Amino acid sequence: MTIEINNRPYDLPDDARISLLDFMRERLEFFGSKKGCNQGACGACTVLVDGERILSCLALAAQYDGRSVTTIEGVANGDELHPLQALFVEHEGMQCGYCTPGQIMSGIALKSELERGAPSNVSSDLTVAPRLSRDEIKERLSGNLCRCGAHNGIIDAVAAYVGGEEQ
């Protein structure tokens, strides 16, 4: 039973109760993914599994045998920040930084969701690819709570990323 995290293999835990989030944080000391609620309501624990975002607090580690997980620690290219990470800094898309990893992982995932034409709750026409708009981005990020109120900066950063305006 192995799982790949940021391109490295790890043995899965024996204890079937361990969530993917706790496995990463408490066993592997990947503290980048945060725990805000442990019940799927805040998005702080968002990671990618084979490119799709999931809430790792709601996932049991044991279910992810053979899968490939990307966390916030795995998106930068060495010292060089991922473009969305750099945009979060530039647009003041954070205050305390606790929701930030989850927001960034959601932002990365939603770009590919938009690119493949997946509709959201605010898409007006389900028969065509969703039109890029701030509301589309906001809706797709609404599972990521921020209590500091960095919302405007977060959406600016993700809009710049999705819209291709990376710097």
Partner 1 sequence: MTNIKPNSSSHKSDPNRRQVLAGSAAVAAIGAFGLPVGAQTTAAPAASGAFASLGVPHVRRDGAEKARGGAKFAAEYSYPGMVYGALVYSTIARGTITSLETAEAEAAPGVVLVMTHENAPRLERPEPFYSSPTGMAGSSTPVMQDAEVLWNGQPVAVVLASTQEEADHAATLINVAYEEADAVTSFDVAAESAQTSFYAGRDLLIEEGDAEAALADAEVSVDLSFNTPAHNHNQIEPHAVTVLWKDGILRMHDCSQGVDLSAITIAKVFGISSAEVHLSAEYVGGGFGGKTVWQYHILAAAASQLADRPVRMSLTREGVFRICGARAPTRQRVALGSDRKGRLTSLIHTGTTMKIENNSMTEPFFEQSEHMYRADNMHLEIRAGTMDMLANTFMRAPGAATGTFTLEVALDELAERLAIDPIELRVRNEPDVNPTTGREHSQRASVDAYREGARRFGWVPRSGQRQGYREGEWQVGTGMAAAYYPYKRFPGGAARITLDREGGALIETAAADMGMGTTTATAAVASERLGIPYDAIEVRHGDNTLPGALIAAASQQTAAIGASLTAAHEVLLAELASLVPATSPLHGLPAAELGTAEGALYSLADPHQRIPLIDLVAWSESGTVSAEGQGGPISEWTQDWSMHSTGAVFTEVRVNSVTGEIRVPHITAIYDCGKILNSKLAESQFRGGIIMALGMTLMEGASFDERNGRVMNPSFGSYYMPTHLDVPHIDVGWTDIPDPQAPTGARGIGEIGMSGPAAAISNAIYDATGKRARDLPIRLDALM
Partner whose footprint covers residue 45, from partner 1, ligand FES, none (CB < 5 to 8 Å by kind): ligand FES
- Please name which of 108, 96, 111, 90 lies closest in space to residue 157, comparing C-alpha atoms: 90
The angle subtended at Cα 129 by Cα 47 and Cα 136, nearest 5°, is: 55
Please select the residue that binds partner 1; options are 95, 111, 112, 119, rule is CB under 8 A: 95
**17 lines the binding site for partner 1 (CB under 8 A):** yes
Going 120 to 124 to 127 to 131, the CA torsion angle's sign is negative
Please select the residue that binds ligand FES; options are 15, 63, 148, 152, rule is CB under 6 A: 148
CB 85 within 8 A of CB 71: no
Site for partner 1, residues 107 to 126, rule: CB under 8 A: 122
The CA distance from 87 to 83, in Å, is 6
| 119 residue type, one letter | P
Partner whose footprint covers residue 57, from ligand FES, partner 1, none (CB < 5 to 8 Å by kind): ligand FES
Q: Which stretch binds ligand FES (CB under 6 A): 2-10, 71-79, 95-103, 122-130?
A: 95-103
Binding stretches for ligand FES (CB under 6 A): 35-38, 40-45, 55, 57, 94-100, 146-148, 150
